[in-house]
Structure 1
């Protein structure tokens, strides 16, 4: 679970952002008013530059965020794809390849990491949505908890990997 972060803390958390990117990026109001105690990360797409996305999570030493770049091409909508963070299967055109420049010297040398993510970066919501139950089906509360914990772990690993 995350503690509430201010706009200044969010801006300071980015491990792979240039000064120009930090100056340009727009923090949507809804990010500041989310129910922080329910989340393990916050993510959003830039409203002005749709190819940009942002992901912030809490690592052992504090908040860490990464700037993401969406690929310009999408997969065929007639196929299915799985997000590498939330493991939600969706139509392929709702999953996008995002890349993140690594932090530090590796990023300055052009090294980056790529992964497939929900196009709208809604992973936190997706793992918390419950599929409708079939008749006489019983919901397993542990399954939802495992999905949430898995997302939290994979998100921290991804951000830590970008940070280097």
Structure 2
């Protein structure tokens, strides 16, 4: 359950990162073409109308893409959040049987809880129409980094009850 949850959350977070990239590239002019005497503002008439309609259509499709990325990011993260919740709860039941307590505040358990909190914040930002889009995508991007800390960082450190993936120490 945890691996399915992390996989879905990573995919949804990547969709949110793509949303952020498209949103911030929209407001930036990366290339400006000018050949000295002639630039776009020099031409008048039909070219201006055609260029205007082209840019309006381009902005329309870009806003549609942003809305679709936001929609699919929300759906995939909701699925991953469900899997993560089931994984944490079933892991707590298993821990009670194996170790005699539901929660030990082990680093892996703590980071799984932090991941759960970050994505709960993301889901709550999606309920407010003013916070959808780039605002909630920033929270999902933070969640992307948190997942990598939880999944690899804790294992590399090799401390706690879940240190099954740690590197052996070469220092004696």
- The structure in which a higher percent of residues are helix is 2
TM-score, normalisation: structure 2: 0.28
Q: TM-score, normalized by length of structure 1?
A: 0.29
Instruction: Identify which of structures 1 and 2 has the higher relative contact order when contacts are C-alpha pairs closer than 8 Å and 6+ apart.
Output: 2
* Higher Cα radius of gyration: 2
